[in-house]
């Protein structure tokens, strides 16, 4: 099998051993005479797979007992709406709920846009600084009586990471789509954490949500049932047909993560591998440039620029010739982006760094 070095920002590279296992088990699952993806989601065989993935998420993410683990659909994008619907919406016409949003880039902005109608406001916005960093806690403007502060712990497009989770008097809601299982979550500071599986945990189609149990009953009666966290918490995420393939595959990736050191192992891996690319940028005498403040540089999405768009185009073409794929930055910002999620082989990072050095030597 010929595999390229795939730096895609999501869906992302998965462990080849997991893909092979899925291929082997796909036609017939454990002697059942059918594929798991053809089976009723009420079948005890699927039920075991489902609960294994739930259990692995709880164990690997070190989730405390007073949180529910939910397996949903609709991506993190649906959570932009579900979070305020459950935590801010009210049937009381006299109430004026508020929630602060840290806008460190495009995803924080999208989350705020969906929350604005429910009382969301910007507690900080990095637009004037071209989204080059996350703010310190002292820079946040949190209005009195706010229900929560929303953070995007890693802005996937800008390549900006919140270096330390805030420790505040107010509970937080976190979009952790692009740094799930690359850092330990301080659960006592959060009411809700969400993210799509398709970067660090598995294939697309599954959204992993962690909800503090005490918030489950807060949604007003007018919220439709699928959009209430409680619906999913009280049914072990089997209220409707779950994304069975993604849940099955994610369970396998989680077992791979467990065998490779769990969250501590992935955290060390992310720090080390991103540092390899940042070092190549720093050592290039300005040939490559990172637009992100040093303290906030992402460990999962390394963004960098070259001297001109023409040179960037040449970089991408030559990279592809070497099997280095999906290095183009997001269409909204341009430049380069190397997404280095949990399952990307370290060898791929080494090949990228060697290529960067060679390209700089040839074109510098």
For the question of residue 256 being annotated catalytic, the response is: no
Q: Which of residues 86-105 bind ligand PLP (CB under 6 A)?
A: none
Among 12, 57, 72, 76, interactor with ligand PLP by CB under 6 A? 76
Size of the site for ligand PLP (CB under 6 A): 11
Query: To the nearest whole angstrom, how small is the minimum distance from the Cβ of residue 73 to ligand PLP?
Result: 10
Strand partners, 122: 101
Question: Quick one: which segment of 54-62, 72-80, 139-147, 320-328 binds ligand PLP (CB under 6 A)?
Answer: 72-80
Among 77, 213, 218, 322, interactor with ligand PLP by CB under 6 A? 77
Q: Which of residues 175-194 bind ligand PLP (CB under 6 A)?
A: 175, 177-178
The residue from 175, 179, 248, 328 that is catalytic is 175
The three-state (H, E, C) secondary structure of 223-280, written as one string: CCHHHCHHHHHCCCCCCCCCCHHHHHHHHHHHHHHHHCCHHHHHHHHHHHHHHHHHHH
Tokens of 57: 């998420």
Query: To the nearest whole angstrom, how small is the minimum distance from the Cβ of residue 114 to ligand PLP?
Result: 11
Mark 49-63 as b/e (b = at least 16 C-beta within 10 Å).
bbebbbebbbebbeb
> Residue 75, interface with ligand PLP (CB under 6 A)?
yes
> Residue 152, interface with ligand PLP (CB under 6 A)?
yes
Question: Quick one: which segment of 17-25, 74-82, 214-222, 245-253 binds ligand PLP (CB under 6 A)?
Answer: 74-82
Tokens of 51: 């609960």
Among 6, 68, 146, 156, interactor with ligand PLP by CB under 6 A? 156
> Residue 344, interface with ligand PLP (CB under 6 A)?
no
Nearer to ligand PLP, 77 or 113 (CB): 77
Tokens of 194: 């969400």
Question: Quick one: which segment of 75-83, 185-193, 245-253, 258-266 binds ligand PLP (CB under 6 A)?
Answer: 75-83
Query: To the nearest whole angstrom, how small is the minimum distance from the Cβ of residue 100 to ligand PLP?
Result: 18
Query: To the nearest whole angstrom, how small is the minimum distance from the Cβ of residue 91 to ligand PLP?
Result: 28
> Residue 10, interface with ligand PLP (CB under 6 A)?
yes
Nearest to 26 by CA among 18, 15, 34: 34
Nearer to ligand PLP, 119 or 196 (CB): 196
The residue from 107, 114, 179, 191 that is catalytic is 107
The residue from 191, 199, 252, 328 that is catalytic is 199
Provide the phi-psi class of 262: left if phi over 0, else alpha when psi is between -120 and 50, else beta: left
What contacts 235, CB < 8 A, 6 or more positions away?
none
Nearest to 279 by CA among 164, 360, 333: 360
> How many of the other CB atoms lie within 10 Å of CB of 122?
17
Nearer to ligand PLP, 149 or 306 (CB): 149
For the question of residue 175 being annotated catalytic, the response is: yes
Nearer to ligand PLP, 29 or 335 (CB): 335
For the question of residue 124 being annotated catalytic, the response is: no
Among 100, 135, 174, 196, interactor with ligand PLP by CB under 6 A? 196
Point out the residues that are catalytic: 107, 175, 199
What residues line the site for ligand PLP (CB under 6 A)? Answer: 10, 75-77, 107, 152, 156, 175, 177-178, 196
């Amino acid at each position: 099998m010929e595999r390229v070095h795939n730096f895609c920002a999501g869906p992302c590279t998965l462990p080849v051993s997991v893909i092979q296992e899925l291929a082997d088990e796909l036609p017939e699952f454990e002697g059942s005479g059918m594929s798991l993806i053809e089976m009723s989601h009420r079948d005890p065989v699927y039920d075991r797979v489902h609960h294994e993935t739930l259990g692995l998420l709880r164990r690997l993410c070190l989730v405390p007992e007073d949180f529910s683990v939910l397996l949903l659909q609709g991506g993190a994008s649906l959570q932009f709406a579900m979070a305020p619907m459950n935590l801010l919406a009210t049937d009381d016409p006299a109430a004026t709920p508020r929630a602060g949003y840290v806008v460190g880039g495009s995803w924080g902005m999208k989350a705020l846009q969906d929350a604005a109608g429910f009382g969301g406001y910007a507690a900080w916005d990095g637009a004037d600084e071209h989204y080059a960093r996350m703010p310190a806690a002292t820079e946040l403007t949190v209005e009195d009586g706010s229900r929560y502060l929303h953070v995007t712990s890693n802005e996937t497009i800008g390549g900006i990471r919140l270096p330390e989770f805030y420790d505040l008097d107010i509970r937080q809601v976190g979009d952790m789509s692009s740094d799930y299982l690359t850092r330990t979550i301080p659960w006592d500071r959060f009411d809700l954490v969400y993210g799509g599986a398709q970067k660090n945990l598995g294939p697309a189609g599954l959204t992993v949500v962690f909800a503090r149990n005490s918030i489950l009953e807060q949604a007003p009666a007018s919220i439709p049932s699928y959009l209430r966290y409680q619906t999913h918490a009280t049914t072990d995420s089997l209220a409707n047909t779950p994304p069975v393939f993604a849940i099955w595959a994610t369970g396998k990736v989680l077992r791979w993560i467990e065998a490779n050191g769990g969250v501590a192992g992935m955290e060390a891996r992310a720090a080390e591998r991103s540092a390899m690319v940042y070092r190549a940028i720093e050592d290039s005498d300005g040939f490559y440039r990172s637009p992100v403040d040093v303290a906030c540089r992402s460990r999962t999405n390394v963004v960098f620029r070259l001297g001109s768009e023409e040179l960037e185009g040449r970089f991408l073409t030559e990279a592809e010739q070497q099997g280095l794929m999906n290095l183009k930055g997001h269409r909204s910002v341009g430049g380069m982006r190397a997404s280095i999620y949990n399952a990307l082989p370290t060898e791929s990072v080494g090949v990228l760094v060697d290529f960067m050095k060679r390209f700089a030597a040839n074109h510098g």
